Structure 1
Amino acid sequence: MKKTILFLFALATALAPAAEKPLKLMLITGGCCHDYGVQKDLIKVGIEARLNAVVTQVHTDDKSTKPPLPILGDPEYAKDYDLVIHDQCAAGIGDVKLIEDVLKPHVDGLPAVALHCAMHSFRFGNFKQPLEVGAENGKWFEFLGLQSSGHGPRKPLDIYYVDKEHPISKGLPDWTTGDEELYNNIMVHEGTHALAKAKQGKNEAVVTWTNLYGPKKARVFCTTIGHFNETVADDRYLDLVARGILWGVGKLNDDGTPAAGYGAE
């Protein structure tokens, strides 16, 4: 009888689905104008609490517009990762080769998430004017799928979803933030899919969207929300970012839930 029980236990164990390996996510933070020392931990803890994922922090405490991000100059920086979260504020880095190196993994098909000031990074020249596709100083905006050059006052945003059926936004509530920044939309690229807009007084802009980038159509999820710690710590924000990550790696069900094995334990 004991041998039979042991055999059945071994058989059940053998037939049980193997646990999915955690997603390997790289989170890049640092640079001007934000409390990245706190926000990097809010994001890491928030994402790991929601997903079967390990977030590796790549951070610099430098507060300049040209932060010495550890990835710079290394086109292989994202090797063995499933997705990169760009949350840096590097508005002063305009070296074409450095920008190409940052983009290289995504040109090769690696998915990405871009948060807040990532939209105002790696820019130079006449970036306050709409840039044609193919412009040397527009490569970062082509990756994002939207060109932004600045923001309005630090006041609450009324956020509302314009595509309520997309897996990322399915069932998520419209909401009003505390003080935030509304990033302008100088140009929305063809193929960019808006998920949410926000109003701040009389001004309105797309604040959350998806893009398919490059020849391999790498999935890119972006949101301009996330200036203040209170927003980054908000469950509604972290839920949105977590879904954006799952969509990026192809592990988000149509109803907005994680694919089997990719939710929190």
Structure 2
Amino acid sequence: MKRRLFYFTSVAALALSVGLAPFLTGAESAKPKPLRVLLVTGGCCHDYAKQRLILAEGLSARANIEVEFAHTDDKSTKASFDIYNKADWAQNYDVVIHDECSADVKQQPYVDNILNAHKDGVPAVNLHCAMHSYRVGNFRDPVQSGSPDALWFDLIGLQSNGHGPQEPIAITFTDKDHPITKGLGDWTTIKEELYNNIKILTAHPLASGKQTVKNKDGTTKDVETVVAWTNEYGPKKTRTFSTTIGHNNETVGDARYLDLVTRGVLWSAGKLGDDGKPVAGYEAKQK
């Protein structure tokens, strides 16, 4: 009797598994594909060769993200990228992370081609020196949104043209209810560069940074600026996230920094829940 019961159970289980096989296969195929992210790195003043790897590993460890690189070893302020010469350069990506430092690349058609992809709806995440890249026109004085001098700043949503010395920055999240910042704790960096705010255009501030710097006479002063924010760009209101933090490798590799950037990527792509967690299917893959 036990053998018959065992036999029946085994056959039933087999029939059930065979019957469900098409549905299981369909369920597997219905799982979201990884978010395809293009990480652009290179140019002046930073260890991009290492930072791109730190970022890629940190993002993929925190969410269902697949990173591809567009990197140059050119360490000048005129670093350019072959991919930007193609009209459809961003069509295969869900998000582009601009982490380049190309301050003296000002050729209008080249810059326009970068911006066109974001006007067409490809989200952008802008890190550190990306804020000081593609400075077409007069970038030193406050610009007017929509003017020829504001091309790149309109994408960013905020105008910056310089930074102070490397000193610790106390980061305070000023919008604690935004999905990107929800539940994140304030923290203080190692010695980092605090970028100035010449003008806030259309940016929505998320965090401020305060730095104590020494004057030439030996006295000190506190300087505070916006260091993380979101923006909506162009006719399609393309989402962008930006942070000026991230000069040194140790900061880029800090778990708190990687948490912030990962959320910025997910939010830009519409894959971050109101609770600050990835939406279903975009959680980190289990190892």
User: Normalised by the shorter chain, which TM-score bucket?
Assistant: over 0.9
CA contact (8 A) 1:144 1:211 kept: yes
Partner of 1:79: 91
Question: How well do the aligned residues superpose, as a CA RMSD in angstroms?
Answer: 1.3
Is the counterpart of residue 60 in structure 1 residue 68 in structure 2? no
3-state DSSP of counterpart to 2:194: coil
3-state DSSP of counterpart to 2:163: coil
Is the counterpart of residue 248 in structure 1 residue 256 in structure 2? no
TM-score, with length taken from structure 2: 0.89
The amino acid across from 2:169 in the alignment is L
Deviations 1:193-251 (A, max 9, x none): 10000000211000000000000010000000000000000000000000001101111
Structure 2 stretches lacking a partner, 5+ long: 1-7, 213-221
3-state DSSP of counterpart to 1:71: helix
Partner of 1:49: 61
3-state DSSP of counterpart to 1:247: helix
Deviations 1:20-61 (A, max 9, x none): 111110000000000001100000111111111110011000
Larger Rg: 2
Partner of 1:262: 282
The amino acid across from 2:14 in the alignment is L
Partner of 1:207: 227
Partner of 2:256: 236
Q: 1:73 Cα shift?
A: 2.1
Shifted more, 218-227 versus 73-82: the winner is 73-82
Match among 138, 144, 148 for residue 136 of structure 1: 148
**Aligned counterparts of 1:180 and 1:263: Cα–Cα separation in 2:** 30
Change in Cα spacing, 1:7 to 1:136, as seen in structure 2 (3 Å) is: farther
Is the counterpart of residue 98 in structure 1 residue 110 in structure 2? yes
The amino acid across from 2:152 in the alignment is W
Q: How many residues align?
A: 264
TM-score, with length taken from structure 1: 0.96
% identical equivalent positions: 53
Superposition map of 1:187-206 within 5 A:
187-190=199-202, 192-201=203-212, 202-206=222-226
**Aligned counterparts of 1:37 and 1:44: Cα–Cα separation in 2:** 12
**Aligned counterparts of 1:104 and 1:124: Cα–Cα separation in 2:** 15
**Aligned counterparts of 1:20 and 1:86: Cα–Cα separation in 2:** 24
**Aligned counterparts of 2:155 and 2:89: Cα–Cα separation in 1:** 17
Partner of 1:40: 52
The amino acid across from 1:205 in the alignment is T
Higher helix share: 2
Is the counterpart of residue 119 in structure 1 residue 131 in structure 2? yes
